[in-house]
Amino acid sequence: MKILLVVITIFFVSGCTDQSHVTSSEPSITDLADAYFFRVIEAHPEYAYYADVPLETHAEFSSNSLSSIKLWETFEDSLFTEIKKIDEAHLISRKDKITYWFLYEDLESSIEMRVCHRHLWNVDPESSWLGIWLAVAQVQPLGTEELRNQALARWNLLPQAIETEIENLKLGMSLGYTMPKVIVSKVMDQMTTLLECDIDNSPFMVPALRDDDQDFYLQWQTLVSQKILPAVEDYHAFLRDEYYSSARENVSILDLPHGEQCYQAYIRKFTSTNKTGTEIYELGQEIVARNKAEIEILGQELYGIDNFSEIISQINNNPSNFFKTGQEILETNERLMAKAKNECSHWFSTLPASDVTIKPYQPHETGSGAYEQASGPKPAYYRINLSHPEKQQKGSNEVLTFHEAYPGHHVQIALEKEIKDLHPIVKLMSFTSYVEGWARYCEQLAEEMELYESKSALISRRAWPSRGMVVDPGIHLMGWTRQQAVDYMTESGMNEDVAQNLYFRSIATPAQLTSYDVGGEEIKALRRLAEEELGSKFDIKIFHEKILSNGAVPLNPLRVIMLEWIDSEEKSF
C-alpha cells in the first residue's frame, strides 16, 4: 500500500496523465480517486469495515493528533488542486463522471468544514470517539491467534487516543471552541453509565465476547479494566472538573469563532448544496404550511376534525395509538418489516440480497431509532427503543420503520454495497442529503404502497417533515430557545423525549436535520418531473433503479443523472 502511495505522489509531481480518460493537460480522475482511496484506508483503517474493503492488518486506528490532522489536510489540498484542473465536460464514461462528482464534492466540503475546527470541540454522545470505537468493537476481526494479537495492539491505542482527545479539547477551550453545556452533561451521563457497568458487561468487552478463547478473554479483561476504563474515567473527570465550567451556555453555533461560516459549511456538508440557512428556514416554513393544510383535509376525512391542533390532540390522547409493552413494539416492527419487504417486490426491479435485523438499544445507548449498515460478518441492524412504550405512538413507529428498513435506508444502502462497476471511493463516501432524502421520500412511498396500518400514521408522516429545515436554523440563526424548538417539534405530535433528542442533535451536529427534507424534496421533485415528462411511459421500478444505481451521490449530480435518463426515455418513444 505504501509503495502505491509513493507511485501516486510521483504521478502528482511529474504531471503524468492517463490518455484514455482525459486530455493531455489534465490529471486522470481514476488516479486521483485511487490516491484518495488508498490514503483513506491508510489513515483511517476502520473506515474499511463499512466499505467492505479488505485490510492487511487490523492493528491500527485513525490518529486524532493535531499533526495527523494537519497531514490529512495537506493531502486534501494537494488532491483538490489536481481535481480542479479537470474539465468535467471531458469526462465521458459514467464511472468517471460519478467518481469526479463524489471526489470533488467530498474534498471541497471537507475543506470548507475546517473553519469549524470540529476536532477541538467534539464532545458528542453520538459521533465522538466513543461511538466510533464501540462501533469497531462490533466488527473487530477475531478467531485466530494473529487476529487476537492485532486486536490487542489496536485497542491498546485507545487510552492514548483518549488522552489526545483531552489535549485537543483543552486547546479548543483556550481558543474559544467548546460544546454547549447541555451536550456536555449528556456525555457525562453517558460516561457514568459506562463506568457503572460490571466489567464483564462493559461494551468495551464485546470483542472478547465475540471470541471463544479463554486466555484472550482474560487478556482483554485486563486491558479493559487496567487501561481503557481508567482512561475513560480520566476523560469523565476532565469533563466534570475542567471542561464543563468552560463550555458554552449559548447553544447556537454562531457563538463559536467564525460561527456563520461554520454553519454554512455544515449546511454544505449535510445537504451537498450551497443553500443558505435562511433559504432553508423559509422553504421549510412553506412546506410545513402546505403539510398542515393537507392534514386538515385528512383530519376531516378520518376524524371529522379540520383543525390541525385538534387533529394532533386527537391522536395524542387516544390510548389505542400507543404501545403497552416493549415486546409489543418488537413484534410490531418485525411484522411491519416483513410486510414491507414483501410489497417492495412490486415497486423495485432489484432488492438487496442481504436482510436487516432488529436490534434494540442497550442501556448505555440513546436514540429513537436508526439504521446500522452491514459490515463484514455483522448484519445490517434496525435499531429500536423498547423503553417507555406508553410514550411511543404506533403511527410514528410505522413511519420510522419504513424510513429505516424497507423501503428506506436498508434498500438504498444495501443495494449500494452491491454496485460493482463504480470506483471504490463511492464505498467510502455518502452524502447525507441523498441518504436521508431517500428515506424521507420512502415515507411517502410507503403510503402509495399501502403499508401504513394506523390512521395516525397518515397524519404523522406529514406532520413532521420539513420541520427540521425550520428548527435547525431556528436554533442556530434565529435565536430560538430550547422550549421554542421543542414546542415546534411536539406541535407535530412528536413525543417530547424524541423532540428533546432532536434538539440535542441539532446542537451537537448542526444542519444534519435539514438534510432529510432538502434531499427528500429533491427526489420528490425529480419524480414529479419524470411523471410529467414521460406520462404513461413512466415506470416506477425504472425510476427507483435510476435513483439508486449510482450510490449516494450529491444532489446536483443526481439531478443531472435523472434529467439525462428522462431525456433518453423521451427520445426512445
Contact 86, 100 (CB under 8 A): yes
One DSSP character per residue, 439-463 reads HHHHHHHHHHTT----HHHHHHHHH
Taking only the tens place, the pLDDT of each residue in 415-427 is 999 988 899 999 8
Burial track 493-520 (b if 16+ CB lie within 10 A, e otherwise) = bbbebbbbbbbbbbbbbbbbbbbbbbbb
Predicted local confidence at residue 446, as pLDDT: 98
Is the predicted pLDDT of residue 304 greater than 50, yes or no? yes
> Looking at residues 373-385, what average pLDDT do you find?
89
Predicted local confidence at residue 5, as pLDDT: 36
Contact 366, 126 (CB under 8 A): yes
Helix (H) and strand (E) counts in the chain = 27, 3
Nearest to 401 by CA among 380, 384, 378: 384
Is the predicted pLDDT of residue 571 greater than 90, yes or no? no
pTM: 0.89
Q: What are phi and psi of 449, to 5 degrees?
A: -80, -5
Nearest to 256 by CA among 130, 125, 113, 131: 113
Nearest to 533 by CA among 559, 560, 572, 567: 567
Domain ranges of the chain: 2-119, 122-255, 271-523
352: cell is 438487496
Taking only the tens place, the pLDDT of each residue in 235-261 is 999 999 999 999 999 999 999 999 999
d(CA 73, CA 121): 18
Q: Letter for the amino acid at 204? A: F
d(CA 465, CA 514): 10
Contact 139, 49 (CB under 8 A): yes
d(CA 52, CA 539): 32
Q: Other C-beta atoms within 10 Å of 293: how many? A: 12
> Looking at residues 454-464, what average pLDDT do you find?
93
Read off the pLDDT band of 9 (50, 70, 90): very low
Read off the pLDDT band of 208 (50, 70, 90): very high
Predicted local confidence at residue 377, as pLDDT: 79
Contact 520, 555 (CB under 8 A): no
d(CA 454, CA 554): 34
Predicted local confidence at residue 154, as pLDDT: 98
Q: How remote is the C-alpha of 247 from its chain's centroid?
A: 26
Nearest to 342 by CA among 405, 404, 394: 405
> Looking at residues 107-113, what average pLDDT do you find?
98
Residue 436 C-beta-side C-alpha neighbours within 13 Å: 20
Is the predicted pLDDT of residue 30 greater than 70, yes or no? yes
**Beta partners for residue 375, in sequence order:** 378
Q: Other C-beta atoms within 10 Å of 479: how many? A: 11
Is the predicted pLDDT of residue 368 greater than 90, yes or no? no
Predicted local confidence at residue 375, as pLDDT: 79
